[in-house]
Structure 1
Amino acid sequence: MKVSADAENEVHDVARFTDAARCVVTPVLELPADAALVVVGAFARLVRNAKSSAAATTPDGDGIVRSQTFEEGDVYMLEAPFDGFFADRYLMDFYDVAERDLCSRMHVHTGLRFVRMMTGPDTRIRVSSLSPFDVRNVPGVTPFLPRTFEDALPDAPPGAARTRYNLVVPPCSFVDVQIPRGVSHQFNAVGEHAVIDSVHPEESIEIFRERMSGFRMMAQTVFLAAEPPPAASCSDLPE
């Protein structure tokens, strides 16, 4: 899927892009505000501690740097792959789009992802894709259904209008999203209390398949826009 395996800012033409499948969303639970703040804050502290840790910011014996950065936030490889186990797990501490006046770009990954999004008080996550979301609802079990809406992809090139499908993770809630390989997605946090727990079930296979030289989230990403758009393009959450 990548032209240059180690490129960390490879951009593909969004006008010609077609999703390989759809993202599947499963609402998990809602928490009281105080409980949500404790949980989200504890995960965020792990990422922040890693960012200032010499051990996490330098290559370990397997050449893995556990503390990394991505467009949506700082990340920490909580669990690394090893011989006979090709998956890994990242935590991400989201940036608040209002603080940076920037949104993340629409992108795809060269391997599938399983993502649990978690929000605290006064914080929402806007999840976007170029294809509609499949939201799973098990009557009597699913605690809520996230709000969805459509708008125009703001950074599409002239003459290449694309519909953007959006889903809002409400405050103090957990929502899972299964992202097949090669499916567009975009996460943006509106508020300061948002984290992601992300499992990459084919990480080592992905590295070998793409002939990459190391475990870096950015090297496993293909962007569908050249530059991050301003915050106004993702912070508006219409009722």
Structure 2
Amino acid sequence: MNATMKHAPDDENEVHDVLTFTDPGNCVVTPVTQFPPEIALAVTDSLRGLVQDAHRSEAATKPDADGITRAQTFEEGDVYMLAAPYEAYEADRYLMDFYDVVDRDICSRMHLHTGLRFVRMMTGPDTRIRVSSLAPIRITDVPGVTRFVPETFEDDHPDVPEGHRRTRYNLVIPPNSWADMQVPRGVSHQFNAHGPHAVIDSVHPEESIETFRERMTGFKMMAQTIFLAEEQPASESCALS
């Protein structure tokens, strides 16, 4: 797994063929805990506010001395890098303020990353997160410890050529909940938030290693993403009942 994964290292919208793609592993979701609605709202709104403050900050919206722009925008939402990597520490950490896919009528695309990820998903009242992959998602369940079990279901992945089928594996993080997700390098995944109070707290343990491994010319977070669809689909493709 030391070979590069990208055809064009600096491309921020590289798309690989979904029909020939094979997941090298599986994502693992660990339900953590659930909160009363008022506590969940306070946590998610506070973190979302931090992200939006960053996007209004002149310092956070332009490259710093290391060439890193901390406030960025991804398909799923606005992002703020809380902790940047440096020479002696390859990891970084960022917060994402999710878009409400119903409000925007658009879903994020299935994608993979050139390095592994650790993600904590947090929801507030009237908000759920749909998590999807082209490989079955394993759920940690420790009797006497695990606080809840996410709903799971399968459907046909919508972003495939006509006449072909691929199974999409899904789970739903319920309102007022925290759940962790381990995403191995190169494993497909997709996040879509239904509701206004959703946040991701994500750690990238090999962020600067990826830059060298993929032979990028600079530190570009979106260039560490590879998509499995040409365009973002309408919200019906990631709907929840």
Please state which band the TM-score falls in when normalised by the shorter chain: over 0.9
- Work out the CA distance in 2 between the residues paired with 1:127 and 1:217: 21
Q: Tell me how far 1:189 sits from its aligned partner.
A: 0.2
Instruction: Name the Cα RMSD after superposition.
Output: 0.7
In the TM superposition, what are the counterparts of 1:26-175 in structure 2 within 5 Å?
A: 26-175=30-179
C-alpha offsets along residues 51-82 of structure 1, whole Å, 9 cap, x if unaligned? 01000011101010000010000001100001
In the TM superposition, what are the counterparts of 1:206-221 in structure 2 within 5 Å?
A: 206-221=210-225
Q: Tell me how far 1:214 sits from its aligned partner.
A: 2.8
Instruction: Name segments (4+ residues, structure 1) moved above 4 Å.
Output: none
How many residues are treated as equivalent by the alignment? 237
Q: List gaps (5 residues or longer) in structure 1.
A: none
Whether 1:194 and 2:192 are equivalent positions in the alignment is no
- Work out the CA distance in 2 between the residues paired with 1:14 and 1:221: 14
- Work out the CA distance in 2 between the residues paired with 1:99 and 1:135: 29
- 1:23 aligned residue: 27
C-alpha offsets along residues 180-232 of structure 1, whole Å, 9 cap, x if unaligned? 00000000000000000000000010111011133332110000000011001
C-alpha offsets along residues 30-61 of structure 1, whole Å, 9 cap, x if unaligned? 00000000000111011100101000011101
- Work out the CA distance in 2 between the residues paired with 1:69 and 1:215: 15
8 Å Cα contact 1:70/1:217 also seen in 2: no
- Work out the CA distance in 2 between the residues paired with 1:128 and 1:55: 35
- Work out the CA distance in 2 between the residues paired with 1:30 and 1:67: 29
Determine helix, strand or coil for the equivalent of 1:16: coil
The one-letter amino acid of 2:210's match is E
- 1:223 aligned residue: 227
- Work out the CA distance in 2 between the residues paired with 1:106 and 1:217: 17
Instruction: State the percentage of identical aligned residues.
Output: 68
TM-score by length of 1: 0.98
- Work out the CA distance in 2 between the residues paired with 1:223 and 1:136: 27
- Work out the CA distance in 2 between the residues paired with 1:66 and 1:31: 30
8 Å Cα contact 1:116/1:198 also seen in 2: yes
Whether 1:183 and 2:187 are equivalent positions in the alignment is yes
TM-score by length of 2: 0.97
- Work out the CA distance in 2 between the residues paired with 1:41 and 1:6: 34
C-alpha offsets along residues 69-122 of structure 1, whole Å, 9 cap, x if unaligned? 100000011000012100000100000001210000000000000000000000
C-alpha offsets along residues 115-144 of structure 1, whole Å, 9 cap, x if unaligned? 000000000000000011110111000001
The one-letter amino acid of 2:29's match is V
- 1:10 aligned residue: 14
8 Å Cα contact 1:68/1:216 also seen in 2: no
8 Å Cα contact 1:126/1:166 also seen in 2: yes
- Work out the CA distance in 1 between the residues paired with 2:220 and 2:143: 39
